[in-house]
Amino acid sequence: MVALPRVGICWTHTILAVDLTGDGRPDIVTADYTDGGTPSVSVLLNQGGSFNGRTTYALAMASDETEGVTAGDFDLDGDVDLAAWREASSC
Ligand SMILES: [Ca+2]
Ligand SMILES: [Ca+2]
């Protein structure tokens, strides 16, 4: 089990393991809940069994709650892309 560094995040809704850097080592992406703060996802790069500090990326969403994140090559350029979503306040 790997303990993830915590930096200004209340809790994590989703953890995704995906190789963002193309080095064959799975990195970690988290969907963050910030309790009134800016919604975000965080990235922890795999350093060969340990992870670097958390890098947090703010999202332009009307919510403090990033519900989930997924990965894929959505624009077909060969690089991994991320897509995040939030909880809807109404349907
Ligand atoms: Ca990697
Ligand atoms: Ca891409």
72 Cα–ligand 2 center, Å: 7
Give pLDDT, residue 90.
Answer: 63
Give pLDDT, residue 60.
Answer: 83
In sign, the C-alpha dihedral spanning 70, 24, 45, 11 is: positive
8 Cα–ligand 2 center, Å: 29
Identity of the amino acid at 49:
G
- pLDDT tens per residue across all 91 residues of the chain: 666 666 556 678 889 999 999 999 999 999 988 777 778 899 999 999 888 888 989 888 777 688 899 999 999 999 999 999 887 666 6
Structure tokens at 46: 């795999």
44 Cα–ligand 2 center, Å: 19
CB 17 within 8 A of CB 51: no
Give pLDDT, residue 20.
Answer: 96
Give pLDDT, residue 43.
Answer: 93
The CB density around residue 68, as the number of other CB atoms within 10 Å, is: 14
Q: Please state the pTM of the whole predicted model.
A: 0.82
17 Cα–ligand 1 center, Å: 9
**Which ligand minimizes its atom distance to the CA of 21?**
1
